[in-house]
Chains A and B, each alone.
Chain A
Amino acid sequence: LSAASEIPKEDDRPKWDNKFQYILSCIGFAVGLGNVWRFPYLCQIHGGGAFLIPYFIALLFEGIPLLHLELALGQYLRKGSIGAWNTISPYLGGVGVGSWMVSVLVSLYYNTVLTWVMWYFINSFQEPLPWSVCPLNENRTGFKEECHESTAVNYFWYRKTLNITPDIAESGKLQWWLVLCLAACWLIVYLCTIRGIETTGKAIYVTAIFPYLVLTIFLIQGLTLPGATEGLIYLFTPNLNILKNPRVWLDAATQIFFSLSLAFGGLIAFASYNPTKNDCEKDAVTVAIVNSMTSLYASIPVFSVLGFKATTAYWDCLDRNIVNIINEFDLPEESIMRQNYTSWISFLNSSYPEKIAGLKLKSCDLQEFLDQSVSGTGLAFIVFTQAIILMPGSQAWAILFFIMLFSLGLSSMFGNIEGVFTPLLELQIIPKSAPKELLSGIICLISFLIALSFTLGSGSYWIDIFDRYAASVPLLVIAFFEVIGVVYIYKIKRFSKDVEWMTGRKLNLYWHIAWRFISPLLLLIVFMAFVTLQMQKTPSYTAWNPKYEGFPMKEEKVYPPWVQAICVLLAALPGMCVPLVALFHLVKEKRRSKDPSFVPPEVFSCQAANS
């Protein structure tokens, strides 16, 4: 019987205190910053409510099957990613190594994003908020030019936080305030992951639940803001024509994939601490649905606030025009209000067209302000911070918002670190007698030292590179090999028996179809489409350059060749681990088989003698 040989004895492997901790950890890992700042953006640019259709189809055929696969794998084999894949087949060990590598790369840059969040958090205690006013120039006659030409919020982000250089080749110096915050962030990560799931299991109660509380508070407050309804209507109005664009389907598939944090090895590690008789099918469906619901739930306050910001900007535009007109024509104050602005304009335009033309009034269009869509760090650190200034009691909102972002990111960091920690623990890098605290300390220290490079002046350009290349293509490759490996090398019949043994009921036809055909096919299509799109244009980036003529627009620049080489390396290396490790084993086998005195190990390995 296949099940016999692989169940290890009940050993001193750490376990979850209770099922809820495990589910919460998986949810915390899946729910991250992307749910707040990427999903609403995608909804907005891809036809509002219509985007939900490809999103849920991708969830059904790609997200849930892959998630179930990983959780079942980890729970059954009770090992981290490297150990698990080595158990399935030494030729597939590369999949585990690849996941481990991606977890390392992502941990490095993800914590730097949390550093930025922490920096904004500790600056939120100041009155007035430091990103609401421009600093004065030397002779105090006006504001600093860089700040005056863009906005105070932009200035605070690009100059006071990042101190960004105008080009990626210029590294600049280490920004000491960011180094301090980075040290604090890695210390927090160390504090929470010091004994593996023993400590993260306690910390997750706070970091996974707190964001929901804050989102609810923001939801209630956001809905009371003027202009919130415009934002929500704009977000959710479906534009079904958009479904004809294949880009929409690609974005939905990649969003589901990255949002569920698949192929990092962290989920396998989490599941490996479970008792074997646990219903992983129900867990997978639960985690996937909670993740998607959180994305939807988060987009409501985000869009209320964005609607509020657009409305305020629209009113500001109108007010500025009104003041200009009143000053020019010396009309009494409050004679022109926002409501009768259009009638006044038409009247004045007919009577004094030259004067009106001379004023160079900006055309104010609410739709235009709503159309300005931003995702990622731009949403959190520029758009949202600007909206927070306009709310009464800005400090409190800023503090709440940044603590929420920090918790979201921290719970995802736990999964990343677990994906690095568990395999290393199993490989016994440090002697068994040494405490676990030492290994987690070493991991955090080395990561901190490497991540210092992200606190340089050009750091944020590098983080963009890591985000675009290290955390995208390799994951698709690894996930593809995961599915193929389990279904065709470990054999689906054997795997379904294992899952049935764990869950206690027969595997639904849906899983068979999804694992055998739909998921691998979808992954292949998504991977090829993704790579094709990336290769269509030379990789470029936008740089913040105060000396650029189009300033405050960002300057479009092409990556220098050495940077492009690094991009390719980042994207290719984790994926290359799979064939490289397989090749390595093949060579080792060939060399062994040439030795006549050596008995081939296949006789003893159950993997060869199976159904």
Chain B
Amino acid sequence: MLRALLLTLSVVAIAHAELCKPDAQNAFKVRISIKTALGDNAYAWDANEEYLFKAMVAFAMRRYSSKSTTQISNVLLCNVTDRVSFWFVVTDSSKNVTTVPGSEVEAAIRMNRNRINNAFLLSDKTLQFLKITSTLSPPVEPSTPVWLIVFGVVLCLIVAGIVFLVVSGIQKHKKKNKDSTERENLEEKVEVTLENGIPCEALDLKAGHINGVFAADDERFTSL
């Protein structure tokens, strides 16, 4: 009895070793970069983490195929390195010593990738399943592009500025016209001494306008 048990166990162990080895059929390599993802908060990869990994894979298989036959013991890990990387394979308990087809495993993992990542506080980049490509999530796009909103604001400011300047220009023009007609009326009424058409009051006799010709000439004549 005991011998039979030992024999079965050794057969199972050898079978497991046969099933899970690098580049085995339906086996996948996993690469985990905990320090890159978490920096100082990195946890160590030990047997407990491996157990969690097996549990997550089993969970994924159960969710995918909706039959609750996959057990944690069905998931085999091997060749764990310091990197941290290892190979895993999922066995089928109903059929003896066979592995679940790779396509099924791949589909299951892909479906539950987010849950698996979150369980380990990692992302698609830091928890890599080397043969399984991940579907990239599209960037969040608001309904109106942001640049159009900013453009609208800028354009409104510019147009407001132009309208203000044009309107103030027109007002100034009108006022100047009104002022000049008023002054003409005033000049007709009041007798003003005119000098060359300019009323004397307007001339600032103190400042005056220096005629450049004579100013320059002054330098040429010797002073008296």
A180-202 contacts to B (CB < 8 Å)? 180-181, 184, 187-188, 190-191, 194-195, 199
- Chain A binder among B2-10, B48-56, B158-166, B198-206: B158-166
Is B81 in contact with chain A by the CB < 8 A criterion? yes
**Given contacts A194-B166, A330-B83, are A141 and B135 in contact (CB under 8 A)?**
yes
Is B114 in contact with chain A by the CB < 8 A criterion? no
- Chain A binder among B68-76, B88-96, B180-188, B210-218: B210-218
* Distance of A1 from chain B, by nearest CB (Å): 6
Chain B residues within an 8 Å CB radius of A538: none
Chain B residues within an 8 Å CB radius of A539: none
**Contact pick for B150, options A125, A128, A188, A333, CB 8 Å:** A125
A191 touches B154 (CB 8 A): no
Interface string of B127-162 (1 = CB under 8 A from A): 000000101101100000111001100110011011
Is A220 in contact with chain B by the CB < 8 A criterion? no
Interface string of A119-143 (1 = CB under 8 A from B): 1001101101000010110001111
Sort chain A's interface into a size bin: 35 or more
B216 touches A333 (CB 8 A): no
B135 touches A187 (CB 8 A): no
A184 to B136 CA separation, bound complex (whole angstroms): 37
Interface string of B14-32 (1 = CB under 8 A from A): 0000000000000000010
**Given contacts A1-B213, A327-B31, A437-B169, are A122 and B136 in contact (CB under 8 A)?**
no
- Chain A binder among B33-41, B59-67, B98-106, B116-124: B33-41
**Given contacts A140-B138, A195-B169, A501-B216, are A125 and B161 in contact (CB under 8 A)?**
no
Interface string of A459-503 (1 = CB under 8 A from B): 000000000000000000000000000000000000000000100
A184 touches B154 (CB 8 A): yes
Find the B residue at minimum CB distance from A180.
B151
**Contact pick for A4, options B33, B36, B165, B213, CB 8 Å:** B213
**Contact pick for A188, options B33, B146, B158, B216, CB 8 Å:** B158
Chain A residues within an 8 Å CB radius of B84: 332-333
A3 touches B213 (CB 8 A): yes
Chain B residues within an 8 Å CB radius of A437: 165-166, 169
Is A326 in contact with chain B by the CB < 8 A criterion? yes
Is A354 in contact with chain B by the CB < 8 A criterion? no
Q: Which of B33, B35, B81, B166 has the most CB of A within 10 A?
A: B166
Chain A residues within an 8 Å CB radius of B169: 194-195, 435, 437
**Contact pick for A332, options B83, B146, B147, CB 8 Å:** B83
A-B contact count (CB 8 A): 92
Chain A residues within an 8 Å CB radius of B147: 119, 122-123, 125-126, 177
Is B112 in contact with chain A by the CB < 8 A criterion? no
Find the A residue at minimum CB distance from B33.
A333
Chain B residues within an 8 Å CB radius of A276: 212
* Distance of A184 from chain B, by nearest CB (Å): 6
Is A10 in contact with chain B by the CB < 8 A criterion? yes
A136 touches B138 (CB 8 A): yes
**Given contacts A184-B155, A331-B83, are A125 and B165 in contact (CB under 8 A)?**
no
Interface size for B (C-beta < 8 A) is 36
Interface string of A166-187 (1 = CB under 8 A from B): 0000000000010011001001
* Distance of A455 from chain B, by nearest CB (Å): 15
A1 touches B217 (CB 8 A): yes
A194 to B34 CA separation, bound complex (whole angstroms): 62
Chain A residues within an 8 Å CB radius of B81: 330
Tell me if B's interface is mostly helix, strand, loop or mixed: helix
**Contact pick for A181, options B82, B133, B145, B151, CB 8 Å:** B151
Find the B residue at minimum CB distance from A177.
B147
A142 to B133 CA separation, bound complex (whole angstroms): 9
B82 touches A331 (CB 8 A): yes
A126 touches B162 (CB 8 A): no
* Distance of A400 from chain B, by nearest CB (Å): 15
Chain B residues within an 8 Å CB radius of A233: none
Is B209 in contact with chain A by the CB < 8 A criterion? yes
Find the B residue at minimum CB distance from A4.
B213
Is A549 in contact with chain B by the CB < 8 A criterion? no
Is A565 in contact with chain B by the CB < 8 A criterion? no
**Given contacts A191-B162, A333-B34, are A122 and B82 in contact (CB under 8 A)?**
no
Chain B residues within an 8 Å CB radius of A123: 146-147
Is A334 in contact with chain B by the CB < 8 A criterion? yes
Find the A residue at minimum CB distance from B149.
A125
Interface string of A244-278 (1 = CB under 8 A from B): 00000000000000000000000000000000100
A135 to B136 CA separation, bound complex (whole angstroms): 11
A10 to B207 CA separation, bound complex (whole angstroms): 14
* Distance of A20 from chain B, by nearest CB (Å): 22
**Given contacts A181-B151, A332-B82, A332-B83, are A125 and B173 in contact (CB under 8 A)?**
no
Chain B residues within an 8 Å CB radius of A143: 136
A460 to B154 CA separation, bound complex (whole angstroms): 24
A334 touches B35 (CB 8 A): yes
**Contact pick for A184, options B151, B161, B166, CB 8 Å:** B151
A142 touches B136 (CB 8 A): yes
B82 touches A330 (CB 8 A): yes
A177 to B34 CA separation, bound complex (whole angstroms): 44
Chain B residues within an 8 Å CB radius of A195: 165, 169
Find the A residue at minimum CB distance from B153.
A122
A122 touches B155 (CB 8 A): no
A187 touches B162 (CB 8 A): yes
**Given contacts A133-B139, A136-B138, A437-B166, are A122 and B154 in contact (CB under 8 A)?**
yes
Chain B residues within an 8 Å CB radius of A7: 212-213
**Contact pick for A326, options B83, B155, B166, B170, CB 8 Å:** B83
**Contact pick for B35, options A128, A188, A333, CB 8 Å:** A333
A187 touches B31 (CB 8 A): no
* Distance of A178 from chain B, by nearest CB (Å): 12
**Given contacts A1-B217, A190-B162, are A333 and B36 in contact (CB under 8 A)?**
yes
Q: Enumerate 23 A-B pairs (CB-CB under 8 Å) in ascending A order.
A: A4-B213, A122-B151, A123-B146, A123-B147, A126-B147, A128-B139, A142-B136, A177-B147, A184-B154, A184-B155, A184-B158, A187-B158, A187-B162, A191-B161, A191-B162, A194-B166, A326-B83, A330-B81, A332-B82, A332-B83, A334-B35, A435-B169, A501-B216
Closest 4 CB pairs of A and B: A330-B81, A332-B82, A122-B150, A330-B83
Task: A191-B158, A330-B83, A334-B35 given; name 9 further pairs at CB < 8 Å.
Answer: A4-B212, A119-B147, A126-B147, A187-B162, A190-B162, A191-B161, A199-B165, A327-B85, A330-B85
